[in-house]
C-alpha cells in the first residue's frame, strides 16, 4: 500500500477545477477537493496558499513570456513597440486548442468576485514585471509604467474577446487589432 502517489499538486488542481465548475467555487471546500483525490485538507494548503490560488497556477511562466518578449524587442523599439512584441510572444501561450479550457476557467472566475479580485492582482503583478523589463531597456518612469499598463489593458481586452462566443480569430490577430485601436485613441483629433 503506497502512502502517497506522485503528482499531488496536479491532481489537486484538476480536482479543484472540476469541483469549482460543477458546484461553484464557494460551494466547494478545501476538504472536498483534497478528499476527492485521497488527500487531506492540510495537504491542500501545503500546495496552494489559499483556495483561489489553484486557478492561477502557472502565472510565473506566463509572466516570464511577457518579460522575455519585452527583452527580445529590437534595441531601437519604442516602449509601446516593445510591449507589442511581448503581446505577440504571450499569444503563443494561448493556442486555439486551449480556448475551451480557458473559457471554462474564465466562467469560474467571473462567477465569483473574490476570484476576480485575485485575477486583477495577478494582472497588476504582470504589469509591474513588464514595467521593470522596460526600465531595463532604459525607459524611464512614468513611461515604463504607462506602457506596461497599456499592454496589460490590451491583453485583457483581447483575451476576453478571444473567449467571446463565436470568436474564431487567434489571440495574436485580436491583439493586433486592439493595439491598433489603442494607438488611434491618442491621435484622435480634439
Partner DNA sequence: GTCTATAGTGCGATAGAC
Partner DNA sequence: GTCTATCGCACTATAGAC
Query: Is there a cis peptide before residue 46, judged by omega within 30 degrees of 0?
Result: no
Is 26 a binding residue for its own copies by CB under 8 A? The answer is no
C-alpha cell belonging to residue 51: 483556495
Q: Are 135 and 141 contacting, i.e. CB atoms less than 8 angstroms apart?
A: yes
Is 165 a binding residue for its own copies by CB under 8 A? The answer is no
Q: Which does 61 bind (CB under 5 to 8 A by kind): DNA, its own copies, none?
A: none
* Helices of type H across 27-93: 30-36, 41-47, 59-72, 79-91
* Complex with DNA: residue 46 or 103, whichever CB lies closer: 46
Is 8 a binding residue for DNA by CB under 7 A? The answer is yes
* Complex with DNA: residue 50 or 96, whichever CB lies closer: 50
Is 65 a binding residue for DNA by CB under 7 A? The answer is no
Is 38 a binding residue for DNA by CB under 7 A? The answer is yes
Q: Which does 80 bind (CB under 5 to 8 A by kind): its own copies, DNA, none?
A: its own copies
Whether the CA torsion 39, 41, 42, 47 is positive or negative: it is positive
Is 49 a binding residue for DNA by CB under 7 A? The answer is yes
Is 75 a binding residue for its own copies by CB under 8 A? The answer is no
Report the residue from 23, 46, 103, 183 that binds its own copies according to the rule CB under 8 A.
183
CB atoms within 10 A of CB 80: 18
Among residues 109, 67, 57, the alpha carbon closest in space to that of 90 is found at 67
Among residues 56, 80, 83, the alpha carbon closest in space to that of 72 is found at 83
Instruction: Sort 42 into a burial class: Cβ within 10 Å, 0-12 / 13-18 / 19+.
Output: exposed
Q: Which residues bind DNA (CB under 7 A)?
A: 1-5, 8, 28-31, 34, 38-43, 45-47, 49-52
Binding site residues, its own copies, CB under 8 A: 77-81, 113, 116-118, 120-121, 123-124, 142-143, 145-147, 149-150, 153-154, 156-157, 161, 178, 181-190
Amino acid at each position: 500500500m503506497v502512502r502517497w502517489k506522485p503528482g499531488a499538486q496536479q491532481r489537486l488542481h484538476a480536482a479543484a477545477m472540476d469541483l469549482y465548475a460543477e458546484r461553484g467555487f464557494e460551494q466547494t471546500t478545501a476538504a472536498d477537493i483534497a478528499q476527492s483525490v485521497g488527500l487531506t485538507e492540510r495537504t491542500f494548503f501545503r500546495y496552494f496558499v489559499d483556495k483561489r490560488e489553484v486557478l492561477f497556477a502557472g502565472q510565473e511562466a506566463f509572466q516570464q513570456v511577457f518579460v522575455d518578449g519585452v527583452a527580445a524587442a529590437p534595441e531601437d523599439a519604442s516602449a509601446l513597440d516593445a510591449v507589442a512584441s511581448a503581446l505577440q510572444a504571450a499569444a503563443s501561450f494561448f493556442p486555439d486548442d486551449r480556448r475551451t479550457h480557458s473559457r471554462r476557467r474564465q466562467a469560474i472566475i467571473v462567477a465569483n468576485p473574490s476570484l476576480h479580485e485575485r485575477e486583477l492582482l495577478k494582472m497588476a503583478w504582470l504589469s509591474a514585471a513588464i514595467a521593470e523589463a522596460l526600465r531595463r531597456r532604459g525607459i524611464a518612469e512614468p513611461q515604463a509604467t504607462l506602457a506596461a499598463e497599456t499592454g496589460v489593458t490590451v491583453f485583457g481586452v483581447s483575451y476576453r474577446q478571444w473567449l467571446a462566443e463565436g470568436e474564431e480569430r487567434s489571440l495574436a490577430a485580436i491583439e493586433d487589432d486592439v493595439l491598433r485601436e489603442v494607438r488611434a485613441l491618442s491621435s484622435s483629433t480634439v
